[in-house]
Amino acid sequence: MALHRGKGLATIEYPTGMNQNGDPSQAWIKVKPDGRVDVFSGTSDIGNGSKTVQSQIVAETLGVPYDWITYDNSNTDSSPMCTGTFASRATFVAGNAVLKAARQVRERILAIASRELEIDPEDLEVADGTVSVKGTPAKSMGVDEVAGAATFVHGELLTGDGAHLNPGAAIVDPETGEVDKPPHAAISYAACAAEVEVDDETGDVRVLKLTQAYDIGRAMNPTLVEGQIEGGAVMGLGFGVLETCYPYYPSAEHRGDGMSTYHVPTMAELPEINNVLIENPSEGGPYGAKGIGEMANNAQPAAIANAIYDAVGVWVTEFPITPERVLAALDARSEPRREGRMVAFDEELSINSFSSTRTWGA
């Protein structure tokens, strides 16, 4: 038995949201008489942190503390339209909708405050829940006082609505390949470097280290961004060396019959993961943000495959890269030439490939 180490790199690009029309998000915001803010959005939070990030956008735009925000997406009757949580669109598309709504509310807050303070709205600013005169912070009033005045003195409701729709699909000139508009609202970029250890006797592959760099536009919430990236890394790891939806050998009768036979990485097998966040703001994203969700699990499998080639000199072109597939590739490499060429190992795999039930990294 000999263990071989190798390193591999993969780079990707990923669009933010859909760009074929029909992908809108809407939002509605109101300020209650005590200054607390209700945000109504149709975005479903599936663990991606969209409620947190959109609430942050509203708090930042209005100049009020984050804990003043209540986010409501409890049902489709009271919430505005949102196409859904997919295509890495929640921060970019739905975030733009709440940003536009929050800007309207901010204008209304400043308009009421200007009446109360008897000064032009352009000379006012809002921060930390307080509206103050630029250059004269002592002359101020709380946003809660402004909201109370709007309700009980001026008889007005501080509210705003916003909607966002990415540009429609670009029209491509068939002769020149030129497009009449940018094909995507924003594109995120990423790179993953993998370090692996391969056992040339058993075919076992152990991923030792993943180093990843992500251009995320603007890290609205760095902790959430890193969580997305690390969660995606584990998914990419599983796809790269373990997980398959339809194991077969020698027939479908031998497929797994439950989740107990579907192998995923556990904490004990996780590699060292290092992340680098690169902030390259998007012109169209809320505060420069881009999408980060789905792209986080794209680069790892390719990087792992490249690292395996670096380690033992064979390409495995089918995922997951199980011990059997590694051994088949090594065997194909050692076969004699036939008709002036080497027998392609993927031809062997098409006949003999099957999924391993061996615990990854064991």
What is the DSSP secondary structure assignment for residue 164, as one 8-state letter? E
Side-chain-side CA neighbours of residue 276 (13 Å): 11
Three-state DSSP at 17 gives coil
Q: For every residue of 82-141, which 3-state class applies, written as one string?
A: ECCCCCCCHHHHHHHHHHHHHHHHHHHHHHHHHHHHCCCHHHEEEECCEEEECCEEEEEE
202, 227 in Cβ contact below 8 A?
A: no
Three-state DSSP at 178 gives coil
Dihedral sign (CA 130, 133, 137, 140): negative
25, 65 in Cβ contact below 8 A?
A: no
31, 68 in Cβ contact below 8 A?
A: no
168, 21 in Cβ contact below 8 A?
A: yes
Three-state DSSP at 188 gives strand
- Which of the following is catalytic: 118, 197, 294, 318? 294
Is 294 a catalytic site residue? yes
Dihedral sign (CA 53, 55, 58, 59): negative
Give the active site residues.
294
